[in-house]
């Protein structure tokens, strides 16, 4: 084995795993703090899944409607998350996102503008005012490119100062981390491989920021790229951190359902924000039938009122097409199940009959382009066929809201972006993820840097741990009797898609856990053909164990939570239960098994909870909590 | 796309012939595969099916599968394309589809190439320079003004334009001096950015990025999956404005006697010059692109035997008085006119053997 285990070693202060929005923002912050920073990118630099975000980045700048402020944004976020959010994260997010967006302009970002030259903001589902800074419908690309170019500019500074671009911040493209290495309960480094050569690489670093994104590849119909295998979730678990809220997965209501090859690709919500409506196969605009009581007050009851809202939002209620995503996804699901779906199993999203072709092309250029090229559908002429698709995981690493430090039995581990949990509660509002990346990316990067500073001595990587990591990584290549990783992935996707999908039932979830246990046996014996150089089969074999571990957390938590809330819908418990709102489900790893615990939600501070109407809180809180609120309100008045 | 690989899904799947390049830097060849293709699929779907069946270790880059990330660039039937955007229905039913890696970049394995050239060029392109006196949040720009740059910021960095550009496609030797269309539009984007504090983007592109190599064959525009008008809106306007400056009578005169065929470089800080792809031009001595001889014979002679290591004589400093200023009047000066800015020992035209200019295409002959 000695010939195959050449390991390249690097020393860094901060290692950021993930090169999407959160990772890049974290790395920028760590580098600005003077730390030697490595960015590990699973793909090429600049290809991260962040590019897929279309709608925009939510920030209460008040450029379009001056009545917007952080309190309103905070309220919308908590509402969207059905009050399960970590309130402190929602608060920080609402307060800091405008600065984070403005900062991007100093890095060179070019957002669309208002008439007076400020950053334009658009309407989006769940946001009370137009709030999303955007660039047509390619905001994610703008964000990633801007951060990428900022990193390049920092490298150019370093080149001037030290003579090397890589002196203080280096991007390791097409590199995958398979294991975090610990010294006691402190992070000591990270181990992985270069895709290109299959050679191993070891980073010795006291602080690691996880920014690996989500878990969507465990699902059959998903908008997520191949990278989304829950790496960060699994690395955190194995290092002793906790995952929370893993039962909450967001199914985007409008993914493409035709042609089959692009099933799962998203149609941005802004199609609906700009006037697009949902119709079933009978031509009925059905969303009016699916407005839940909690939202009744804010949504129009007639098509006429809804249509007036686009031009006069102050005097009309919003169209029900702009309900939070899970409501729309459930409505579409119900229509299709009732036999009123399209031939491909979705519903129609119609913007063609609502706006002039020229206007559609101007407002939704890449959407137009995408449909034309991928499906030969002209969205200015015909409706789109859309349906729910797995899009985002709300759950993730349990973190300290202010620092992003992982909670559990590990120090020096930080998480930001989709891989962290709590910020979005049980459901994420569109547009909140891009601002989440920036706000908490910056925080995690900054705090990782100061943690690295605070250490008296550097943790040491144990030789045995590296040897074990090498062995685990090479195992699939050395077996030739196991199953193909592709087969195993398909089977995993089938289990998750069929049994832990958008609508869940107790017996199915129990069944899923049995099957996942079987799959675990099979994945332990997976074998990959071929060599170490750029071998996708081998890479998938290594990703599988992460996908499996994270899927197990999701299934366990989904079975445990006996209510429906946000991204978790139980057919056998169809309503929200105020008692369950007070509970976070926390997963941790004990030996080989996933342990699930209930943990009480942190209590909102008085000045924050009083931002809400009593009548609204009554829909979410227990009587006991309401009594407390009343006492509070009385004291204030 | 697990559900599609099961033969029961959808309409009856036809078997299609694919020829895919397999190999690495040591060589390789096209291998034949018969693979199932379903209605509505794109080439990337077929590659994924092959990975899941006959060729589990077939190397191929991809990410979003929606034409937004620019990862799955390859050459399909010889044309540079994104595999996720190439619908199978665009081929004849019995057509063999051949898939090969990008030709301009070194192969790593199968369909994956080493595109690090592009990342190096990206690092060499000067970043956005924020205006010094505008605080974050105070940036004000009009939509019409940002739109021009926004077109270029649509770029998904698939590098198809770089791949197809004839300046580097079969000319490895041009790579050091040529950044390629992707980075010309980056320069154009910053040039047109309403608040970018640098004012020498065009000149930089001309002098440092090899804009002059481009002779506008528009291949880059043709392959751009984002339909960015790379040449019409990016390269040509930059070239024109560089030319504009040359048509300014004063600048024209200067360039006539000083740098024929090159734009003034005074605002560009780096010493590396565009033109011939010889790294030695970038350091040591004073390498001038000074021109002067209009004798075609002498020029040809100079071009065929260019000696890159020979240095043009150093210009001498102008004669200044004891206050460090140029003497202003003929009365107090020791000569009959103002001193030459090129130094008193340089006479024009320069003798051809002192010229260091070489046409970019000279190596072809």
Helix-strand-coil split of chain A, %, nearest 5? 45, 20, 40
Three-class SS string for B306-358?
A: CCCCCCCCCCCCCCCCCCCCCCCCCCCCCCCCCCCCCCCCCCCCCCHHHCCCC
Tell whether B98 is within 8 A of chain A (Cβ). no
> In Å, how far are A223, A249, A251, B311 from A428, measured between CA atoms?
16, 9, 10, 65
**Could you tell me if B150 and B109 lie in one domain?**
no
A215 — alpha (psi -120 to 50), left (phi > 0) or beta?
A: alpha
Its ipTM equals: 0.87
Residue B91 belongs to a domain: yes
Question: What percent of chain A is predicted at pLDDT more than 70?
Answer: 99
**Lowest-confidence pick of A183-192, A438-447, A533-542, B244-253:** B244-253
Residue tagged active-site, from A325, A443, A515, A582: A325
Residues of B whose CB is below 8 A from A370: 66-68
Taking alpha carbons only, the member of A412, A394, A400, A396 closest to residue A587 is A396
Of the partner residues A108, A152, A536, the one whose CB lies closest to the CB of residue B59: A536
**Lowest-confidence pick of A77-86, A153-162, A319-328:** A319-328
B210 — alpha (psi -120 to 50), left (phi > 0) or beta?
A: left
Report chain B's terminal Cα–Cα distance, integer Å.
Answer: 52
Residues of B whose CB is below 8 A from A495: none
Taking alpha carbons only, the member of A94, A101, A87 closest to residue A401 is A87
Cα B178 → chain centroid: 5
Report helix, strand or coil for B12.
coil
pLDDT of residue B288: 31
Binding residues of A for FAD: 18-23, 41-56, 231, 418, 433-434
Residue B120 belongs to a domain: yes
| Span B276-288, average pLDDT | 35
Q: Where are the beta strands (DSSP E) in chain B?
A: 14-24, 27-37, 73-76, 79-82, 97-100, 107-109, 112-113
Determine the structural domain holding residue B208 and report its residue range. 116-257
CB B350 within 8 A of CB B290: yes
Q: Under an 8 A CB cutoff, do B69 and A152 touch?
A: no
Tell whether B43 is within 8 A of chain A (Cβ). no
Whether pLDDT at B279 is above 50: no
pLDDT of residue B7: 38
| Span A2-25, average pLDDT | 88
Could you give phi then psi for residue B116, rounded to 5 degrees? Answer: -60, -25
Residues of A whose CB is below 8 A from B226: 369
**Could you tell me if B35 and B81 lie in one domain?**
yes
Tell whether B119 is within 8 A of chain A (Cβ). yes
Q: Under an 8 A CB cutoff, do A263 and B1 touch?
A: yes
Whether pLDDT at A215 is above 80: yes
Search chain B and give the residue with CA nearest A173: B116
Place of tokens 């070019």: A110
Read off the pLDDT of residues B140-182 as tens digits, 9 standing for 90 and up. Answer: 999 999 999 999 999 999 999 999 999 999 899 999 999 999 9
Residue B327 belongs to a domain: no
Would strands A413-415 and A384-393 be described as parallel, antiparallel, or unpaired? Answer: unpaired
Among B71, B90, B113, which residue terminates a domain? Answer: B113
Q: Under an 8 A CB cutoff, do B40 and A375 touch?
A: yes
Whether pLDDT at B255 is above 90: no
A338: confidence class by pLDDT, cuts 50, 70, 90: confident
Which tokens is B196 given?
């970018």
CATH number of the domain that residue B37 is part of: 3.10.20.30
Residue B143 belongs to a domain: yes
Residues A38, A169: Cα–Cα separation, whole Å:
6
Residues of A whose CB is below 8 A from B41: 259-261
Residues of A whose CB is below 8 A from B150: 110, 112, 135-136
Range among A48-62, B233-247, B261-275 with highest mean pLDDT value: A48-62
A454: confidence class by pLDDT, cuts 50, 70, 90: very high
Read off the pLDDT of residues A590-634 as tens digits, 9 standing for 90 and up. Answer: 998 999 999 999 999 999 999 999 999 999 999 999 999 999 988
| Span A354-372, average pLDDT | 85
**Lowest-confidence pick of A63-67, A143-147, B169-173:** B169-173
**Lowest-confidence pick of A229-238, A478-487, B268-277:** B268-277
Residues A152, B93: Cα–Cα separation, whole Å:
46
Report helix, strand or coil for A164.
coil
Could you give phi then psi for residue B50, rounded to 5 degrees? Answer: -60, -40
Which one-letter DSSP state was computed for residue A414?
Answer: E
Read off the pLDDT of residues B49-70 as tens digits, 9 standing for 90 and up. Answer: 999 999 999 999 999 888 889 9
**Could you tell me if B122 and B101 lie in one domain?**
no
Of the partner residues B2, B119, B126, the one whose CB lies closest to the CB of residue A493: B2
For testing contact with chain B, the best of A43, A261, A537 (most B CBs within 10 A): A261
Search chain B and give the residue with CA nearest A196: B108
Tell whether B72 is within 8 A of chain A (Cβ). no
Read off the pLDDT of residues B325-365 as tens digits, 9 standing for 90 and up. Answer: 765 555 555 555 555 656 556 667 776 666 656 566 655 54
CATH number of the domain that residue B120 is part of: 1.10.1060.10
Search chain A and give the residue with CA nearest B48: A486
Residue B292 belongs to a domain: no
Which one-letter DSSP state was computed for residue B42?
Answer: B
Mean pLDDT across chain A: 93
Q: Under an 8 A CB cutoff, do B109 and A534 touch?
A: yes
Tell whether B108 is within 8 A of chain A (Cβ). yes
pLDDT of residue B269: 42
Binding residues of A: 18-23, 41-56, 231, 252, 268, 391, 418, 428, 433-434
Residue B279 belongs to a domain: no
Question: What percent of chain A is predicted at pLDDT more than 90?
Answer: 78
Whether residue B216 has a cis bond before it, omega within 30° of 0: no
- Measured in residues, chain B has a length of 365
For testing contact with chain A, the best of B40, B149, B186 (most A CBs within 10 A): B40
Residues A298, A306: Cα–Cα separation, whole Å:
11
Which one-letter DSSP state was computed for residue A141?
Answer: H
Whether pLDDT at B6 is above 70: no
Q: Under an 8 A CB cutoff, do B150 and A537 touch?
A: no
Search chain A and give the residue with CA nearest B57: A535
Residues B211, B235: Cα–Cα separation, whole Å:
8
Search chain A and give the residue with CA nearest B42: A261
> How many domains in chain B?
2
Of the partner residues A47, A159, A538, the one whose CB lies closest to the CB of residue B69: A47
Residues of B whose CB is below 8 A from A489: 2
Tell whether B293 is within 8 A of chain A (Cβ). no
Three-class SS string for B148-172?
A: HHHHHHCCCCCCHHHHHCHHHHCCH
Residue B288 belongs to a domain: no
A223: confidence class by pLDDT, cuts 50, 70, 90: confident
Tell whether B151 is within 8 A of chain A (Cβ). no
B324: confidence class by pLDDT, cuts 50, 70, 90: confident
Residues of A whose CB is below 8 A from B62: 225-226
**Could you tell me if B141 and B63 lie in one domain?**
no
Residues of B whose CB is below 8 A from A165: 123
**Could you tell me if B242 and B209 lie in one domain?**
yes
Chain B closest CA to A535's CA: distance in Å?
Answer: 5
Q: Under an 8 A CB cutoff, do B38 and A260 touch?
A: yes
Read off the pLDDT of residues A302-316 as tens digits, 9 standing for 90 and up. Answer: 999 999 998 888 899
Of the partner residues A49, A105, A373, the one whose CB lies closest to the CB of residue B139: A105
Tell whether B65 is within 8 A of chain A (Cβ). yes
Whether pLDDT at A452 is above 70: yes
Of the partner residues B2, B139, B149, the one whose CB lies closest to the CB of residue A494: B2
Read off the pLDDT of residues A288-305 as tens digits, 9 standing for 90 and up. Answer: 999 988 888 889 999 999
* Angle separating helix axes A432-454 and A87-107, nearest 10 degrees: 90
Chain A closest CA to B128's CA: distance in Å?
Answer: 6
Of B85 and A235, more confident: A235
Tell whether B42 is within 8 A of chain A (Cβ). yes
Chain B closest CA to A105's CA: distance in Å?
Answer: 7
Q: Under an 8 A CB cutoff, do B123 and A265 touch?
A: no
**Could you tell me if B253 and B120 lie in one domain?**
yes
Among B257, B289, B315, which residue terminates a domain? Answer: B257
Of the partner residues B24, B63, B153, the one whose CB lies closest to the CB of residue A225: B63
Q: Under an 8 A CB cutoff, do A225 and B60 touch?
A: no
Residues of B whose CB is below 8 A from A480: none
**Could you tell me if B74 and B124 lie in one domain?**
no
Residues of B whose CB is below 8 A from A265: 65-66
**Could you tell me if B106 and B121 lie in one domain?**
no
> In Å, how far are A7, A122, A321, B182, B273 from A137, measured between CA atoms?
43, 11, 18, 21, 39
pLDDT of residue A293: 87
Size of interface A-B (CB pairs under 8 A): 195
Of the partner residues A107, A165, A487, the one whose CB lies closest to the CB of residue B128: A107
**pTM for the full model?**
0.82
| Span B262-276, average pLDDT | 42
**Could you tell me if B168 and B67 lie in one domain?**
no
Tell whether B198 is within 8 A of chain A (Cβ). no
Residue B264 belongs to a domain: no
| Span A49-63, average pLDDT | 93
CB B123 within 8 A of CB B45: no
The yes-or-no answer on residue A325 being catalytic is yes
Read off the pLDDT of residues A565-593 as tens digits, 9 standing for 90 and up. Answer: 989 999 899 899 999 999 999 999 999 89
**Could you tell me if B154 and B249 lie in one domain?**
yes
Which tokens is A555 given?
């299934």
**Could you tell me if B125 and B224 lie in one domain?**
yes
Chain A closest CA to B65's CA: distance in Å?
Answer: 7
**Could you tell me if B25 and B97 lie in one domain?**
yes
Tell whether B2 is within 8 A of chain A (Cβ). yes
Among B193, B226, B257, which residue terminates a domain? Answer: B257
Whether pLDDT at B300 is above 80: no
Q: Under an 8 A CB cutoff, do A44 and B115 touch?
A: yes
Please list the residues that pair with B22 across neighbouring strands.
B29
pLDDT of residue B41: 86
Read off the pLDDT of residues A109-125 as tens digits, 9 standing for 90 and up. Answer: 999 999 999 999 999 88
pLDDT of residue B286: 31
Q: Tell which B residues from 313 to 332 touch A, by Cβ distance under 8 Å.
A: none
pLDDT of residue A365: 85
Residues of A whose CB is below 8 A from B39: 259-260
Question: What percent of chain B is predicted at pLDDT more than 70?
Answer: 64
- Measured in residues, chain A has a length of 637
Three-class SS string for A482-508?
A: CCCHHHHHHHHHHHHHHHCCCEECHHH
CB A547 within 8 A of CB A217: yes
């Amino acid at each position: 084995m000695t010939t195959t285990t050449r390991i390249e070693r690097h020393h860094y202060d901060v290692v950021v795993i993930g090169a999407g929005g959160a990772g890049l923002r974290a790395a920028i912050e760590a580098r600005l703090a003077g730390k030697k920073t490595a960015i590990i990118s699973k793909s090429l630099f600049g290809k991260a899944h962040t590019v897929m975000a279309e709608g925009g980045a939510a920030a209460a700048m008040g450029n379009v409607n001056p009545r917007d402020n952080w309190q309103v944004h905070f309220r919308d976020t908590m509402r969207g998350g059905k009050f399960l959010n970590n309130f402190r994260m929602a608060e920080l997010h609402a307060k800091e996102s405008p600065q984070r967006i403005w900062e991007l302009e100093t890095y060179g970002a070019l957002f669309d503008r208002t008439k007076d030259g400020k950053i334009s903001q658009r309407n989006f589902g769940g946001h009370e005012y137009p709030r999303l800074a955007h660039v047509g419908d390619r905001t994610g690309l703008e964000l990633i490119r801007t951060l990428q170019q900022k990193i390049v500019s920092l490298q150019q500074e370093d080149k001037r100062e030290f003579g090397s671009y890589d002196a203080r911040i280096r991007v390791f493209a097409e590199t995958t981390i398979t294991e975090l290495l610990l010294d006691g309960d402190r992070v000591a480094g990270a181990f992985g491989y270069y895709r290109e050569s299959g050679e191993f690489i070891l980073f010795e670093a006291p602080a690691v920021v996880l920014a690996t994104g989500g878990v969507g590849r465990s699902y059959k119909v998903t908008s997520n790229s191949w990278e989304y295998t829950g790496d960060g979730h699994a690395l955190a678990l194995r290092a002793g951190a906790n995952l929370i809220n893993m039962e909450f997965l967001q199914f985007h209501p409008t993914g493409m359902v035709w042609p089959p090859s692009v099933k799962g690709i998203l149609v941005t919500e802004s199609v609906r924000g700009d006037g697009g409506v949902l119709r079933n196969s009978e031509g009925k605009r059905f969303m009016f039938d699916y407005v839940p009581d909690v939202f009744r007050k804010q949504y129009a009851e007639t098509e006429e009122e809804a249509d007036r809202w686009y031009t006069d939002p102050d005097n009309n209620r919003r169209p029900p097409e702009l309900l939070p995503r899970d409501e729309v996804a459930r409505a579409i699901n119900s229509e299709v199940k009732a036999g009123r779906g399209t031939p491909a199993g979705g519903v129609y999203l119609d913007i063609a009959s609502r706006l002039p072709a020229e206007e559609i092309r101007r407002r939704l250029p890449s959407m137009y382009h995408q449909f034309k090229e991928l499906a030969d559908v002209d969205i200015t002429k015909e409706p789109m066929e859309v349906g729910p698709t797995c899009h985002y995981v709300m759950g993730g690493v349990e973190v300290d809201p202010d620092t992003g430090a992982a909670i559990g039995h590990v120090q020096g581990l930080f998480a930001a972006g989709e891989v962290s949990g709590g910020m979005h509660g049980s459901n994420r509002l569109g547009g909140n993820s891009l601002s989440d990346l920036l706000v908490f990316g910056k925080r995690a990067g900054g705090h990782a840097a100061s943690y690295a500073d605070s250490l008296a001595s550097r943790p040491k990587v144990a030789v045995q741990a590296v040897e074990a990591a090498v062995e685990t990584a090479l195992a699939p290549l050395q077996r030739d009797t196991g199953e193909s990783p592709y087969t195993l992935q398909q089977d995993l996707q089938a289990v998750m898609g069929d049994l832990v999908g958008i609508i869940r039932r107790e017996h199915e979830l129990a069944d899923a856990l049995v099957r996942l246990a079987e799959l675990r046996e099979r994945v332990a014996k997976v074998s990959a053909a071929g060599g170490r150089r750029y071998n996708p089969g081998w890479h998938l074999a290594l990703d599988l164990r992460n996908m499996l571990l994270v899927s197990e957390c999701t299934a366990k938590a989904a079975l445990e939570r006996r209510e429906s809330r946000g991204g978790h819908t139980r057919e056998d418990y169809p309503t929200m239960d105020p008692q369950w709102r007070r509970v976070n489900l926390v997963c941790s790893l004990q030996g080989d098994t996933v342990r699930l615990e209930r943990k009480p939600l942190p209590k909102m501070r008085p000045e924050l909870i009083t931002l809400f109407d009593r009548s609204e809180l009554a829909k979410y809180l227990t009587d006991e909590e309401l009594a407390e609120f009343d006492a509070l309100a009385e004291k204030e008045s | 796309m697990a559900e599609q690989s099961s033969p029961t899904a959808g309409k009856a799947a036809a078997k299609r012939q694919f020829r895919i390049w397999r190999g690495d830097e040591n060589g390789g060849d096209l291998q034949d595969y018969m693979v199932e293709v379903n209605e509505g699929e794109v080439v990337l779907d077929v590659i994924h099916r092959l990975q899941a069946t006959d060729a589990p270790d077939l190397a191929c880059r991809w990410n979003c599968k929606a034409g937004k990330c620019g990862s799955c660039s390859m050459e399909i039937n010889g044309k540079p394309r994104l595999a996720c955007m190439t619908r199978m229905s665009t081929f004849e039913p019995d057509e063999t589809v051949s898939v090969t890696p990008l030709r301009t970049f070194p192969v790593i394995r199968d369909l994956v190439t080493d595109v690090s050239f592009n990342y190096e060029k990206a690092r060499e392109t000067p970043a956005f320079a924020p205006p010094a006196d505008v605080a974050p949040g105070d940036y004000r720009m009009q939509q019409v003004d940002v739109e021009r740059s926004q077109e270029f910021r649509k770029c998904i960095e698939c590098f198809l334009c770089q791949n197809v550009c004839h300046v580097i496609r079969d000319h490895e030797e041009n790579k050091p001096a040529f950044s390629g269309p992707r980075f010309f539009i980056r320069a154009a984007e910053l040039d047109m950015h309403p608040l970018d504090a640098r004012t020498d983007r065009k000149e930089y592109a001309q002098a440092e990025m090899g804009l002059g190599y481009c002779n506008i064959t528009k291949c880059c525009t043709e392959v751009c999956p984002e339909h960015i008008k790379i040449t019409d809106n990016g390269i040509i306007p930059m070239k024109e404005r560089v030319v504009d400056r040359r048509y300014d009578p004063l600048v024209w005169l200067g360039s006539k006697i000083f740098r024929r065929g090159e734009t003034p470089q005074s605002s560009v800080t780096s010493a590396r010059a565009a033109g011939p792809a010889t790294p030695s031009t970038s350091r040591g001595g004073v390498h001038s692109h000074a021109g002067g001889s209009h004798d075609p014979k002498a020029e040809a002679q100079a071009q065929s035997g260019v000696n890159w290591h020979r240095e043009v004589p150093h210009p001498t400093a102008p004669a200044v008085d004891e206050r460090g200023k140029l003497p202003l009047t003929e009365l107090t000066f020791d000569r009959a006119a103002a001193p030459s800015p090129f130094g008193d020992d340089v006479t024009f035209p320069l003798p051809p053997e002192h010229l260091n200019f070489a046409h970019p295409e000279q190596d072809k002959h």
